[in-house]
Amino acid sequence: MTTEPPSSEVQLTPGGRLRHFLAIENLPRSLLTEILDTAAGFVSVGDRSVKNVPLLRGKTSVNLFFEPSTRTRTTFELAAKRLSADVLNMDIAHSATSKGESLLDMLRNLEAMASDLFVVRHADSGAAHFIARHVTPNVAIINAGDGRHAHPTQAMLDMYTIRHYKGGFEGLTVAIVGDVLHSRVARSQINALLTLGAEEVRVIAPRTLLPADVEALGARVFTELEPGLRDADVVMALRLQRERMQSALLPSEGEFYRLYGLNEDRLRHAHPQAIVMHPGPMNRGVEIDSGLADGERSVILHQVTFGIAVRMAVMSMCVSGQESGEV
């Protein structure tokens, strides 16, 4: 499976509308802004007594999660239902693929059931891109996380949260702290922030948890916490992903927290109005102190709320792009 960034031709219709949403790379700033603006119109849906709109009525969204997830799968399911779509959650562990059926054969069967949208999470980098290249033209693909490569809807809900609290991106310094090496979220965040006009994106981690190409993405690297946090407007903590580590990259979780864990005292080095974010799930006392995670400057639960609206926006835009007649 390819790990190259998908070209805009794969993700967009000839008229520039969203066809698939696989990664942030190569997408124009105007389209990312359109996603945020569209999501803004969906945020209030969750406050209504009837929490849905009819935009995807009669459509079928299939969740293909080859990797465990609770938050992402649940918010995609809620987003589809709030758009009035029918939702099919595939039990991959007990599906025919576990009996030897190929991925492409499974896709063909789902296509034959008149599915309109596949939400794909996979442990292999490039899986969603592979599926997008082989799916029939009338099915939209959304990447819900592939290997270490990308998690574009998580990045966009983070962008929505930042814009909501900071008003925009120009002039912002954003610090991303933690396990950057294994984080598909971090890669998507860096691309989105720089595309949307953030002044500086910093990554802070021990050298063993930094990918070799992180500076090529446009991020400034720090291996010590306090200099990296200095005057940052937004601080994002990343989960320590022990399940993806192939060797002993850290002495211990306690040592990681001592050197890189976020707490109220260390946040003093950031801007006084800095907000604190985490894509979840959190390891309290490892990446972040509970007092900070639950404190006044934390917007972590708001990220989850905004995530439903952002995923509604992406789903509706992808299906609309497929129906535009340009595919």
- Domain range summary for the chain, segments of one domain joined by +: 8-150+305-322, 152-299
* CATH code, residues 8-150+305-322: 3.40.50.1370
The burial of 43, by beta-carbon neighbours within 10 Å (0-12 exposed, 13-18 middle, 19 or more buried), is given as middle
* CATH code, residues 152-299: 3.40.50.1370
Domains 8-150+305-322 and 152-299 share a fold: yes
Distance CA 81, CA 50 (A): 11
Nearest by Cα to 153 from 318, 275, 322, 323: 318
Per-residue pLDDT tens digits of the chain, which is 327 residues long:
445 666 667 899 999 999 999 999 999 999 999 999 999 999 999 999 999 999 999 999 999 998 888 889 999 999 999 999 999 998 776 554 554 567 788 888 889 898 999 999 998 899 999 999 999 889 999 999 998 899 999 999 999 999 999 999 999 999 999 999 989 999 999 999 999 999 999 999 999 999 988 999 999 999 999 999 999 999 999 998 765 444 445 657 888 899 999 999 999 999 999 999 999 889 999 999 999 999 999 999 999 999 999 999 999 999 998 877 676
Distance CA 21, CA 27 (A): 10
Distance CA 44, CA 23 (A): 27
Contact 151, 211 (CB under 8 A): no
* Residue 282: Cβ within 10 Å count: 15
